[in-house]
Structure 1
Amino acid sequence: EKVSFITLGPSAAIIFIIDGDGVAITPGEKGHIEIPFACIIEGVTMLADRSGSIVVDIWKNVYGSFPPSNTDSITSSTPPTINAARNSQNSTLIGWTRALAVGDILAFNVNSCTDITRVTINLKIIRSE
């Protein structure tokens, strides 16, 4: 798994890549990142290496309560999902906890996956500090 932060003025992106090393990605927690600045999530884009389906939940907790768990989901009933396709976008984020604070820890958890061997999750964010 790889992660990067890209910033351009107040806009930024958190990019998290999940790689199954040539085989379909298995369910489970795939990694953690620490948020370096206060921000608001504005949207999510998922890009896969091949057509398939994947659901990735995102969990958030403070550093002192690490690790986050499924009870800490920020995606409500609408986690990032690709369904029989290679890509998806969501800019409405209905029910999401969109505010992230400095030092929050995010976990990326694959709930299910069929056929996809590599997926990039791009969280579009705006600095709020």
Structure 2
Amino acid sequence: MNIIPLFGGVIFSALGIYVCYDYRRFNKNAFKIKGRVLRYEEYIAKDTDNIKRKVYRPFFEFTVNGSTYVVKSKTSFHSKIIPVGHYADVLYHKGDEENARLAEGNGAGLGILFIALSLPAYYFGLFH
């Protein structure tokens, strides 16, 4: 048994489970409305291979009951997935509109990826 890959597997699977849980929890009671992408914040981020890449974080607005909210997304993308000025689905909770999310980036895919990455780590940790 090799503890380092095993530890990595535990971290990846825990992170994957949390992302899937958060996706399900948020979407369960979220309301969907159309919002408009205002602009993107560009910045350089390092990925897991220590390679620097330009990523884009959208700012979007939407209106609920006459109040307009401008939100900086917590999710960044490798491209400008929705052109500036275009409309997209926004998910929000009543009373917590400042933490709204673009539906485009709010999926369980990242959680599933982390869980899938944990499987080889478990294998190498337990059997090599």
Higher normalized contact order (CA 8 Å, seq sep 6+, divided by chain length): 1
Q: Which has the higher helix share?
A: 2
Q: Give the TM-score of the pair, scaled to structure 2.
A: 0.22
Structure label with greater radius of gyration: 2
TM-score by length of 1: 0.22
The structure in which a higher percent of residues are strand is: 1
